[in-house]
Every structure is written in structure tokens, then in C-alpha cells.
Amino acid sequence: MTLLSAGAVAIDGRLCRPGWVRTAGRRILACGAGAPPAVADADFPDSIVVPGFVDMHVHGGAGASFCDADAARVAAAARFHQRHGTTTMLASLVTAAPEPLLCAVRALTEATRLGTVAGIHLEGPWLSRARCGAHDPEWTRAPDPAEIDALLAAADGTIRMVTLAPELPGSTKAIRRLRDAGVVVAVGHTDATYQQTTRALALGASVGTHLCNAMAPLHHREPGPVLALLADPRVTVEIIADGVHVHPDVVRAVIGAAGPHRVALVTDAIAAAGHGDGGYRLGPVEIEVRGGVARVAGTSTIAGGTATMDRLFRAVAGAGGSRTDDALLAAVQMTSATPARALGLDGVGALRSGYDANLVVLDQDLRVSAVMANGDWRVRAGG
């Protein structure tokens, strides 16, 4: 067993100053406010302990991509994000030809069974060519029942989420088939109208993939998918709060409109995260990273992110003397509980008795100083 105490602990929606957490094996045994019930094994008097981050949309990091279908590279990318506090993540795949996509799904199915990732997110190939963003338009296509069945069979229950464009032919049947298989359906990379989007939500789609990015913009006569996703209380909206994909004031407006319980911060990180500027690939597409901003080579099209979840946490939690407990708790909600609930993940996303022992220790500047994943310290303060 491990008993840790800290100057502040975010326990199941409350900020306890001070607080403590006791773990046993892979689980949280108990947690509470005030002084710990015994001498702590680890004491962080000037830090805040929060639940491990849950990133429901990430493509890679540290020079490695989940699209590579290579176990060592998948593990390297996962370890990188874990060092930045992400203890639970979906491995996101991009649009590709049928056979490479199937191979990548098979590789990530094994990575899911090993616990390296929590499941697979298919971001494509059933996307709008007009809103494909960094996806290869040659391989965007309408949903095909045979292909969906083949991917579901290969994944054997490890596909957690699929992003699709609901205006495509066959999308109604696709949404129904995926929901019947227990897959979360997200609306994204779409040129759908407001009506087409609301129809998809009525069929069971429940997530908006990186809201505002790669979708028809909000217009006062043609509100499109943005308003439909924001207006439906059943929908969780992803947002990339890195200061590149969405203006910070728009991020604040989205959080104000939907509330932290409906907003999931995501990195959309590619292999370049933590690896610097240069040339990369996102599936079959060549990417150039300059000044930390990833774009499709030779174009102005943004191509995924280079930030980590701790950076997004800091972006929404506020800085220095302007930081409030409400802002901290909102950041905790959007980086852990909200994405966990959106994906239907049990036992993660909060510090609560019986939950997985996933936690992040943040210093006074909200930088990661320690990370525990499934009861094991993966990053220790001072080393």
C-alpha cells in the first residue's frame, strides 16, 4: 500500500486542501480531506494531486505514430504521453487504404489487450472530402457495411470510438451498426447541415470531434454542425485548447456554453509531440512542423497537434494569482471525468475508492512532477 498526501487533492469533484490518497495494488483504497490517517509514504505539501488525464484523441508522440502498426513505437508514444500525465488514452488512426487500416487496427488491438492504450479511435476513413483536413482525400469514402464489419471483427471489441461525417451515403446504417457494437460515434470532418447533424445525434452519435476544426463553421442562417453539437445536452464536444487550433476566447465560450461536464480537452497529438520541428507522416500524408505547429506539407492546413495534456490543463486552469479553485476543478473535469464518461470507461477519470490508481502530481506552476499509473510510479518527483 502507498499513502500520499498533498497540499491539495481533487477528490471526486472537490478540491480538498490538504488531502490524501491511499492506494493498494492497482486501485485507490481510500481518499479524503485533511491530514492523512498515518505517516505518508509520499508528501507533496506544495502540490496538487489530480486524476490521471484521459486523452480520447491522440495519434502519437515522441517521434512515433500509432499508425505505424509497430508495437515498440506504439509503446514509445504511450510512454511519452504518460510522462505528461496521460494515464489513459485512445490510439487514434487516420484515413488510409483498407488493408493498411486493417493492419493498424490489428496491431492496436494487441496494444489494447496489453494495456498500452485503452482502445482504438477510428478518425476516418468515412469523412467528408471537403472537410478532410490532414486526411488523405484519395482514401476518404462512404461507410461500407462490409468494411465496418471487417474492422469490428479484427478489433474484437477494442474500437471505442469512430468519427464519421453523417452527410455521407450509408451513414445512417453505419451509426446504427456501430452503436449496436457498443462503439461511441463522433461527428467530425464533416460538411453536414444542422439537420443532418441533429439526425445523427438522434441515431446515437454522442461526441463532436475537435469542435470547430474540420467542420462547416457556424453561420447565422446555416448553423451547421457546431450549433447542433453544442445545443444537444447529450453530446460531449472535444476541443483542442493549444492556442493554435481554436482561439482561446472561443475555447472559453465553448466551455461557458456547454459546461465542463460536456467538454473534453484533447491533444490530437501526432508523432511530432515532444520531438521538435521537422518532417513527419500522419498515415500516408506528409507533415511539416515549424514553430511547433503541424501542417500538411506545402499547405496552410493544420495537421494535428504537438501539445500534451498537461499543457492543455494549464491553458484552461488559469495562471498564477488569477487561478481559482473553480478553474482548477473545471480543468480536472475536462481532462479526466468528462472524456472517461464520454467513452464509457469504468474506474478512471476520478480519484475515488475502487478506481484505478491513476494520478498526477502538479507543482505550483501546474507542471507534472510525478505520475502514478495503475498503482506504479511512472514519474517520481525529483527523478
- Please give the positions annotated as active site: 268
- Quote the cell numbers at residue 279: 518532417
How far is the C-alpha of 221 from the C-alpha of 80, rounded, in Å?
A: 44
- Quote the cell numbers at residue 25: 495494488
Around Cβ 203, how many Cβ atoms within 10 Å?
17
- To the question of whether residue 331 is assigned a binding role by annotation, the answer is no
Residue partners of 247: CB distance under 8 A and separation at least 6: none
- To the question of whether residue 304 is assigned a binding role by annotation, the answer is yes
SS3 state at 347: coil
- Residue 301: Cβ-neighbour burial (10 angstroms; 0-12, 13-18, 19+): middle
- To the question of whether residue 134 is assigned a binding role by annotation, the answer is yes
- To the question of whether residue 214 is assigned a binding role by annotation, the answer is yes
How far is the C-alpha of 18 from the C-alpha of 31, rounded, in Å?
A: 11
- To the question of whether residue 213 is assigned a binding role by annotation, the answer is yes
- To the question of whether residue 220 is assigned a binding role by annotation, the answer is no
Residue in this structure with the C-alpha cell 445545443, named with its chain if needed: 231
- To the question of whether residue 210 is assigned a binding role by annotation, the answer is yes
Give the C-alpha distances (Å, rounded to integers) separating 19 from 11, 49, 115, 160, 361.
Answer: 8, 9, 29, 34, 12
Tell me the binding residues for Zn(2+): 123, 189, 210
Tell me the binding residues for substrate: 134, 213-214, 221, 245, 302-304
Tell me the binding residues: 123, 134, 189, 210, 213-214, 221, 245, 302-304
